[in-house]
Amino acid sequence: MSDLLLNHLGGRWVAGTGSGSALADPVLGNELVRVDATGLDLAGGFTFAREQGGAALRALTYRQRGELLGAIVKVLQSHRDTYYEIATANSGTVKNDSAVDIDGAIYTLGTYATWGSVLGDRRSLVDGEAVPLAKDGAFQSQHVQVPVRGLALFINAFNFPAWGLWEKAAPALLSGVPVVVKPATATAWLTQRMVKDVVDAGVLPAGALSVVCGSSAGLLDALQPFDVLSFTGSADTAATIRRHPAVAERSVRVNIEADSINSALLLPGEAAGTPAFDALVKEVVREMTVKSGQKCTAIRRVFVPVALYEAAAEAISARLTKTTVGNPRNESVRMGALVNRAQMASVLEGLSYLKQQTEVLHDGAVHALVDADAAVACCVGPTLLGTKSPDAANRVHETEVFGPVATLVPYRDAEHALQLIRRGEGSLVASLYGSDDAALARTALELADSHGRVHVISPEAAAVHSGHGNVMPQSLHGGPGRAGGGEELGGLRALNFYHRRAALQAAPAVLQKL
Ligand code: NAP
């Protein structure tokens, strides 16, 4: 049997008492490690995190906690090669795709580390200006933000075992809040190893960082009113979480990052072969193939003027044809595997569901696998679908196929495009491609209420933009409606979730001492 990974809870490493769930290599099919959380003292471990980890973190200033993040960066950098090996084996990703997760995590941590020094040597934040409550300002109201006195529980999705942990842990630890992470079982190994390296390096106070690998059973029951819960995953699990008494009755603050039918829009007035057209084609192909489309931010719907439907189909397909699919260990392979058989079955099922309302413009099945056995490997070629009836094809606007699949959607005019995009009912990101700055700005504002992020690619930005699907710590991540209604990152805004705001009403002399 493979090794059983330990959990870190209550300041010590502890094994589950069950036989565990096996994690597998999605390309070769072999078992890698096992995880198990049976029999853990969750209540005791959570108390230890709150009381030991929380108190130790809160005793530090933001600047000092930023330095802790900097120390974590150094630890992770020194083990980077191991993380790439784990990602190849457990996530089936090619090097460039592993980088999105691993280096994205390290970059995000490093960015928050520098923001610690911006906040400086203080332990609470002043929120806005004091306003008078009495004549002559002798009595005033000043809002402050202080770290929550609970813990932050992260329940994460399988597709970002590294970044998913650190993009949340960076603002939490910087805020002075201890972290317990429960990674998705399928890819828990990388999360567990990173936590192990950081804990073993002794850079954090005891109780500041814990990991529970395996079943989620009992985790929410152990939450208390001042804890916060950050969930990333499917809309179905999100709904279960929202109904849990911890959230529904004990008011545990919850942030939900769920699925999303993201869009790319080529604005009216562009012809085939213009820089805007080419930028859209390039970005769509990149988004479909990076991490085999297993990105919550990936482009799922591609909107083009009706006159450009054929030209866009041709240009995207021509690029997709060149995508080599298979074993990520083979240097010639550009796209690796889906994470496991269950996800592969779900992608194939979603694809056939969408096919009933669409035509196939590029068939993923034509991609012969390189260096991989199709009977074992969870590899799926990229498929571009298209619809000539965008209003009737409701499934295209409602179904997230979490794999290398996108649908080309023609629109009549700008208003029609916006209407169709909004049928996603709230998304993480939309990207716009065009050359008319005013039209781009107008469209961005039109979409800002239904998207957490609008990524605009004008000719000036084409060579330097950060990528439709890349989540940058400087920008908000999250989206309204079906995307979960959450907000993460966005610079120091991320700290709001880990702080409580209170109004202090006092004389100016008292407020000046804050
Ligand atoms: P999932 O099945 O919902 O699982 C997410 C996490 O929830 C896992 O850790 C899972 O543990 C746990 N979980 C399952 N049932 C639970 C329950 N009853 N109570 C508490 N936790 C529970 O989602 P997934 O398949 O891992 O991830 C894919 C989905 O996540 C996609 O839809 C994607 O769009 C979305 N996603 C969104 C974002 C974003 O930032 N918006 C980012 C990444 C992914 P186990 O693994 O042990 O079952």
Contact 283, 298 (CB under 8 A): no
- Rounded to the nearest angstrom, the distance between the alpha carbon of 435 and the centre of ligand 1 is 38
Q: Can you tell me the distance from the alpha carbon of 204 to that of 282, in angstroms, rounded to the nearest whole number?
A: 42
pLDDT tens track for 35-47: 999 999 999 999 9
DSSP summary character for residue 470: P
Q: Count of CB atoms within 10 A of residue 275's CB? A: 16
Contact 476, 489 (CB under 8 A): yes
The partner residues of 180 in beta bridges, in order of sequence, read 153, 210
Contact 169, 53 (CB under 8 A): no
Percentages of the chain per state (helix, strand, coil), in multiples of 5: 40, 20, 35
Q: In the prediction, which pLDDT does 112 show?
A: 98
Does the pLDDT of residue 170 top 90, yes or no?
Answer: yes
Using CB distances shorter than 6 Å, the residues near ligand 1 are 155-160, 182, 184-186, 215-216, 232-234, 237, 240-241, 257-259, 296, 400, 402, 428, 484
361 phi and psi, to 5 degrees?
-95, -35
187 phi and psi, to 5 degrees?
-130, 30
Is the whole model's pTM more than 0.95, yes or no?
yes
Does the pLDDT of residue 352 top 90, yes or no?
Answer: yes
pLDDT tens track for 476-502: 999 999 999 999 999 999 999 999 999
Q: Which of 232, 236, 300, 453 to mutate to test the pocket of ligand 1 (most atoms within 8 A of CB)?
A: 232
Q: Can you tell me the distance from the alpha carbon of 23 to that of 14, in angstroms, rounded to the nearest whole number?
A: 19
Provide the 3-class DSSP secondary structure of residue 106.
helix
Active site residues: 257, 296
For residue 1, name the pLDDT band (cuts at 50, 70, 90). Answer: confident
The protein residue whose alpha carbon is closest to atom 43 in ligand 1 is 296
